[in-house]
Amino acid sequence: MTPEPGPQRALVASSFVNRLGTGMFVAVSALYFTLVVGIPARQVGTGLTIAGTAGLIGSVPAGMLADRVGPRAVQLVTLLVQTVTMAGFVFVHSWWVFTVVAALDRIADAANNAARGTLIGRVGGERPALFRAKLRTFVSIAVVLGTPVAGIAIQIGTRAAYVTLILVNAATYVVCALLLLRVPEFPPLPRPAGARRFAALADRPYAAFAALNGLLSLQGVVTALVIPLWITARTQVPPSVAAAVFGLNFVVGIVLMQPIGRRVETTAQGGRALRASGLAAAAGCAVLAGSAAGPRWAQTSVLLLGAAIVSAAGVWALAAGFSLAFGLAPDHAQGEYQGLNLLGLDTAAAAGPAALTALVLGFGAPGWFVLAAGFAAAGLLGPAVTGWAGRCRPGAAVTGRAARPSAAGSSAP
């Protein structure tokens, strides 16, 4: 489980600090903007939707830039911007200021993730997906550790408590950048003769994978948003169980991420993992459909079982996404392709919450079954889509194994 000494351990430490702050901020952000700043909840939701849409423009250009000047340099710049935008939330006093700052923060975050994905591919060497699985485990632990700290600020309930926590989160971006300086700057890889510029945008098989990956990532929306709203609107389950679902999701991820990640490293394995993810998510949604009937203890038990199954499905989707996002991308354009994959994920994240809540809360149990059918259909497409993408990769073997990063792409300068 422990990352290797050197660049891998430094990148894990940097990411851990960053996500520790994120765990604190995410848990209090909605309460801060509504209760302290005084922005109505609906306007906060609208502002975040606008910010999420704006963030879509950040990933692909940042990935291209990371390919040309080096991923660490791009990530350091984005961390500086996020330090400023996070601190800027302290001075928010109206909806339009909130929306502008949130949009800038989301654009920087999308750019950061694209550059970070490229850096992970270089630091991870011959097995970037496995390294990313390890990294995911540590950042999940960081988010869990940050949440109780947020609970203290919520319990105190003063503006000073919220502002202190936000500024601490801003400081984590600085610490993250300082730790990132211990990771070597990898030089750009030369573009092979005949390789196209902006190849990712014209790569239909990879775009199909990115879209499918985005759809299956909506399992995260189910556990983070739909289930808590379902608890309060359609069940007799105590609202405190929503916190248990949040914790359960991270516990399942921490326990399963590395064992599953070790089994998903080729195109064929990635396709099967997407299929398993979709079918498991469908099963979890079917279970959740029954959580509104019966006595309270039965509803709680069924709900936690369904949430655990959906959380496990999310781990399969993450493992598949890690492996395929790296394995299907050419070495010289990892950033560009990571950006396209993130575009698929971010598009789903922007559109998914409204669609899924309207479906499930609007139709009740039948909505869960419709959602289950959608996940199952997306999962069943996994092997076909990834097989198509794998066959189109230069250098991919006929066995369906994705082309792996070359030695030149995985060694430090």
**Final residue in a domain of this structure, among 134, 154, 188:** 188
Please report which confidence band the pLDDT of residue 193 belongs to, taking 50, 70 and 90 as the band edges.
low
Total domains, the chain? 2
CA–CA separation, 149 and 247 (whole Å): 14
293 and 366 in a single domain? The answer is yes
Is the pLDDT reported for residue 3 higher than 50?
Answer: yes
Q: Would you say 245 and 227 are in contact if contact means Cβ atoms under 8 Å apart?
A: yes
Q: 287 with 176, same domain?
A: no
**Is 273 inside any structural domain?**
yes
**Exposed, middle or buried: residue 57 (CB in 10 Å: 0-12, 13-18, 19+)?**
middle
411 domain residue, yes or no: no
- CA 134 to chain CA centroid, Å, is 15
Choosing from 141, 156, 188, the residue where a domain stops is 188
- Condensed to tens digits (0 to 9), the pLDDT of residues 18-52 reads 989 888 887 788 778 888 888 887 788 788 888 88
pLDDT at residue 408 is higher than 50: no
Co-location of 308 and 349 in the same domain: yes
Instruction: Tell me: do 255 and 173 sit in the same domain.
Output: no
Average pLDDT on 297-309 reads 95
Same domain, 221 and 350: yes
Do 267 and 229 sit in the same domain of this protein? yes
Q: Is 408 a member of any domain?
A: no
pLDDT of residue 164: 94
Q: What is the pLDDT of residue 151?
A: 81
Same-domain pairing of 267 and 338: yes
pLDDT tens-place string over residues 81-104: 999 999 999 999 999 999 999 999
Calpha distance 212→271 (Å, rounded): 11
Domain holding 148: CATH number?
Answer: 1.20.1250.20
* pLDDT above 90 (res 395): no
* 323-375 pLDDT per residue, tens: 898 888 887 888 888 889 989 998 998 888 888 988 998 999 999 999 999 99
In a domain, residue 30? The reply is: yes
* Domain hosting residue 137, numbered range: 1-188
Residue 394: per-residue pLDDT: 61
Whether 413 is covered by a domain: the verdict is no
* Confidence at residue 244, expressed as pLDDT on a 0 to 100 scale: 82
Last residue of a domain, one of 148, 169, 188: 188
Same-domain check for residues 326 and 387: yes
Instruction: Please tell me whether residues 212 and 90 are part of one structural domain.
Output: no
- One domain, residues 59 and 140: yes
* pLDDT tens, residue by residue, 101-149: 999 999 999 899 888 888 888 888 777 777 877 888 888 888 878 878 8
Q: Are residues 114 and 53 in the same domain?
A: yes
Task: Summarize the confidence of residues 205-218 as an average pLDDT.
Answer: 94
Q: What is the pLDDT of residue 122?
A: 84
Both 275 and 239 in a single domain? yes
Whether residue 412 has pLDDT greater than 70: no
Is the residue at 38 inside a domain?
yes
